[in-house]
Every structure is written in C-alpha cells, then in structure tokens.
Amino acid sequence: MHFGESTMRIAVEVSESECDALIAAYKLMATRSLRDLMAG
C-alpha cells in the first residue's frame, strides 16, 4: 500500500482531534529520523 494513500485513508476515518494527534506523531517521527540521518 502506498504511504500517502494509507495516510489519506486514516485521515478520513478518524475525527479531527485524533487527526491532529496523528499529524503531530508523524512530525515527531520525521524529526527523529532526520536527526538520526544527520547524526549518523
């Protein structure tokens, strides 16, 4: 399954408050992997 596709599906299925939490979690994960890449 395509990453963007699953993200859209999730966004449609959850309520807006849950969606905000999801976006925050994605941002956190992205920031962490970026830090790992830069540190590595």
Query: How would you write the pLDDT of the chain (40 residues) with one tens digit per residue?
Result: 466 677 666 666 667 777 788 889 989 999 999 899 999 8
pLDDT at 32: 93
Task: Tell whether pTM > 0.75.
Answer: no
Query: Six-digit token pair at 38?
Result: 């830069």
DSSP 1-40: --HHHHHHHHHHHS-HHHHHHHHHHHHHHHHHHHHHHHH-
* 14 Cβ contact partners less than 8 Å away, ≥ 6 residues apart: 22
Query: Six-digit token pair at 24?
Result: 């925050």
* 11 Cβ contact partners less than 8 Å away, ≥ 6 residues apart: 19, 22
